[in-house]
Chains A and B, each alone.
Chain A
Amino acid sequence: MSVSGVVTDALKEGRTMLTEVEAKELLKESGISIVETRLARTKKEALFISKEMGFPVVLKVVSPDIIHKSDVGGVKLGLKSGVAVSRAYDEIVSSVRQNKPDAKVLGVSVQRMARQGIEVIIGVTKDIQFGPVIMFGLGGILVEVLKDVSFRIIPITGADASQMVRELKAFPLLQGYRGQEPANIPLLEDALLKVSAFIEKHPEVKELDLNPVFAYKNGVLAVDARVVLEEGVSR
């Protein structure tokens, strides 16, 4: 599927929320490293893709009607074999059917289980007054409870990206607190710049969530992506 195809198809179908597979497809253009994720329409396809990618893998339900996938039992992590993938596929399908019987299910997404890194999130929203705003924070509790996040108006400069990372109270965690693997700060800044540039090129993106993004010593990898489109914005 072409990049522009993702957007036009979704809007044609009256959807503003892209599926995870579509969102990741669209985001390839940004140059950010994203976990390769493919759609499996059947159990057989899921098995085939899993073997091709290599275990362990993650399976997630793909449905335009389901926003919170884990709430409906639509996510299975750390699947180490074909048997585990088959079982997980069945469980996802039956659990979703039970919890959300009206949802249109396109299949499951298959992706390699990424090695755990420091969890960060990169988000974009549109402010009524100032337009697209980029957000950076450390994932999980630090964002949810402590609101330890930084914002900038898009477009951002290299200096903005550098400040965004450093103004977090949790910045020392990114530097490798108590012998933990540090995050690669220049690559994180680069990821912020890439998101900013991507949004400049795609005004039709209303919201973007890369959550989580794993930050490693030698890399940055977006594990999950969520994109919401705005209707009636031409590119």
Chain B
Amino acid sequence: MSVNRERMDRIFHPRCVVVIGDKKQTNYMWLRSVLTLKGHVYSVQINKDEWPGIEALGVKNYSSILDIPEPVDYVIVAVPRTVAHRVLEDCIRKQVGAVMFFTSGFAETGTEEGIRLQNVLGEMARKADLYMVGPNCMGIYNPEIGLRHHPEQYCGEGGEVGFISQSGTHATQFSLVGYVNGIKVSKSVSYGNGIILDSTDYLEYLGGDEDTRAIGMYIEGVKDGRRFFRTLKEVARAKPVVIWKGGQTEDGARAASSHTGSLTTSVAIWDALIKQCGAIRVDSFDELLDVVKALLYIKHPHGERVGLMAMTGGQSVVISDAFAKAGLKVPKLSEISYKELASFFNIAGGSYMNPLDVSSNFSSPELVLRMLNILGGDENVDTVAMEISSYFLSQRLRVGAKFTVDELVSALTSFRGSSQKPFFTILTAGPKEADALSIREKLVQQSIPTFPTFQRGANALKKLLDYTLSHAE
């Protein structure tokens, strides 16, 4: 089975959205989420006590979806599970584009009643050939048209990253934490129990979506594994797919047997599948964010050799360790570079083997740019990475250095623009966390990728390198 593009387009680009069952108790979170929609929004709520609150939002309320005077593309349902099937019945009669059930309490409860109620919804939708998102989910987010699933999500500007998540929290977090890290969503979906539309359908859809340059996924399990395998293989050939598999607990006891079946753990198989399809595996939210950031903002590296710049001696040692441990190389620089560095670099308290331990040489944006250019121009270096310590920086700016953070950022921006080589920063905070956040904001504004620890930066680069090399073949 292949997903119907036109029908999926209708779900992801609805012109008319209806919210059923929103209430004051949740501060009308659903209506407030979709008020930004470029299109029409209606409410269906039979409880008269809720009407004034809904009208105060400027939304017209009806007692039944059947009374709404225009075709409905996307319905958000937030009613109790016991009446979900009645709402669904009306939606089917209204011939809506799709129904999303925020409603939970189905198969995920593991109870007989929950499973039965889910089966009822599933059968009704299948029989009516209706597309359903969920249940037990947050549904679609398309910032460009102002369709959100959380009132705090941004809208108006579409991004480049598609996100498919079995969890609503991760979908919301990805959009919000991604945003402050310069990662913007093109389209995303939280699909919960996925009883009609499943991860594979969304993957296939976003795989063919022109606005989506990279795809992130949070998956706990798939329904049709063979189709998922084929689809992932196809999509990952066209654009990067980053997969975070939830529920990785390994039944270690079984692995002790030489019997092949018992060696087969789902984690090992997921890992194999991801590799086989040319997708990228990540194991945490942070790693997901880092790898997506690397894919978007770091030029593709051609090799494993990094030229590093650290601000102090101790950091220059451990930044080397972090990159080497990640499977990258910190080589000696070329003779030309050393000759040039020797002409100006003050080695009192610093050194310039690689990493450059810049210390007092961090005295002007021009000098920083000069040192970056040496690293970037060195034939032994494939990628340039630089530490910015907000603590050390604040000290330098107080004593000895006469420049502002903005001037530093503009020097980095200029290097990023002129250098052929991949470049990123690692912003360590020390005790100056607020400073670090404000520097991060400036870096993000200039599209300069930045990571909060050496390990995270090194790991993101390694994953990007592995991806680049495996897809170059």
Contacts and interface: CB of A to CB of B under 8 A. Distances in A.
B225 interface: yes
A153 B273 contact: yes
B348 interface: no
Contacts of A160: 276
B256 A145 contact: yes
Contact of A159 (B263, B264, B273, B473): B473
Contacts of A128: 225
B273 A144 contact: no
B269 A144 contact: no
B260 interface: yes
Contacts of B255: 147
A69 interface: no
A196 B258 CA distance: 20
Contacts of A137: 263
B221 interface: yes
B272 A153 contact: yes
Give the size range of A's interface with the partner. Answer: 20 to 34
Interface in A108-131: 121, 123-125, 127-131
A150 interface: yes
B408 interface: no
B236 to A, nearest CB: 14
Nearest to B260: A123
A11 interface: no
B257 A151 contact: no
Nearest to A228: B261
B263 A149 contact: yes
Given A143-B258, A156-B276, A160-B276, A127 B269 contact: yes
Nearest to B473: A159
B473 A207 contact: no
B276 A125 contact: no
Contact of A135 (B221, B257, B260, B473): B260
Contacts of B221: 129
A152 B261 CA distance: 14
B470 to A, nearest CB: 9
Nearest to A207: B261
Interface in A158-200: 159-160, 163
A144 B258 contact: yes
Contacts of A123: 260-261, 263
A19 interface: no
A130 B260 contact: no
A72 interface: no
A150 B225 contact: no
Interface string B248-261: 00000001111111
Contacts of B272: 133, 150-153
Nearest to A124: B260
B226 interface: yes
A130 B258 contact: no
A152 B264 contact: no
Given A130-B269, A130-B273, A153-B276, A135 B229 contact: no
A25 B216 CA distance: 47
Contacts of B325: none
Nearest to A151: B272
Interface of A: 121, 123-125, 127-131, 133, 135, 137, 140, 143-145, 147, 149-153, 156, 159-160, 163, 207, 209, 211
The 6 closest A-B pairs by CB, nearest first: A123-B260, A129-B225, A151-B272, A130-B225, A125-B261, A144-B258
14 contacts: A121-B258, A127-B264, A127-B266, A129-B228, A130-B228, A137-B263, A143-B258, A144-B256, A149-B268, A150-B272, A151-B268, A156-B276, A209-B260, A211-B260
Given A125-B261, A135-B263, A152-B272, 20 more contacts: A125-B260, A127-B266, A129-B222, A130-B229, A130-B273, A133-B264, A135-B264, A137-B263, A140-B258, A143-B258, A144-B256, A144-B257, A149-B268, A151-B264, A152-B276, A153-B276, A160-B276, A163-B275, A209-B260, A211-B258
